[in-house]
Amino acid sequence: MTAPRTLTARALLLDMDSTIVNSEAVVERCWRRWAAEQGMDAEEVLKVVHGRQGWATMAALLPDRPMEQNHEDNRRMLAQETADTDGVVPVPGAPAFMAALDGVPHALVTSASIPLADARMGAAGLAMPAVRITAESVSASKPDPEGFLKGAAELGFAPEDCLVFEDSEAGIRAGQAAGMRVVGVGERAAAFAPTALVTDLTLVRVEVLADDAGVRLHIDG
């Protein structure tokens, strides 16, 4: 657990996969299939797939591969992932956490496409935030900060007033590059120096502040 244990923010920016939605089973199935097609070690591939858009992961793994092929594989994988919701569930504590944000400025900032985000949030039984930044919204994948900066701008807040929830290296680096504080969620986040760290969202209590002053988050360890 990293300090501080109490954080205030005017707005929250939430990653989706492995942060509020547990889609690890689907991600593993799809990327194992892709790794087999490329003749690659699936375990090595799975170490780097989290947080980025699929084409960006493919480019990192196969730097000499034509980008057109990466985008084509990414389109195919997005279709597979969207159709496969078996095992997609909320991260522990996510339903109560999201319900507590009713009326609090917040946005989804995900590397998923709109159809994939709809499918996974629906499968997990979580309401889609009114503001969402998806793969279609940005020109660069995480760890580029573009998505988080766009989310803050759409909510009408400066980066320093926003707090990011993320699980992956790419996502945490993106939040940090945007000049935002980051709450890391899950074991994967521990290695990347988030502002605070929780194993899941059952350890976060949301206190809504008066006069539209945002939220105070009480983080237990």
Q: In the predicted model, what is the mean pLDDT of residues 159-169?
A: 97
pLDDT of 169 over the 80 cut: yes
- d(CA 154, CA 90) in angstroms, rounded, equals 25
Average pLDDT of span 38-58: 92
Phi, psi of 116 (to 5 degrees): -70, -40
pLDDT of res. 4 = 54
Note whether 148 and 172 are within 8 A (CB): no
> Does the annotation mark 211 as catalytic?
no
Predicted TM-score (pTM) of this structure: 0.91
Q: Where are the domains of the chain?
A: 6-22+88-219, 24-83
The residues facing 208 across adjacent strands are 215
Q: Which of 17, 73, 144, 167 is catalytic?
A: 17
**Does residue 2 surpass a pLDDT of 60?**
no
Encode pLDDT of 122-139 as tens digits: 999 999 999 999 999 999
The b/e string for 173-192 (b: 16+ C-beta within 10 A; e otherwise) is bbbbbbebbbbbbbebbeeb
Percent of the chain with pLDDT over 70: 98
Any catalytic annotation for residue 102? no
Q: Which CATH code is given to the segment(s) 6-22+88-219?
A: 3.40.50.1000
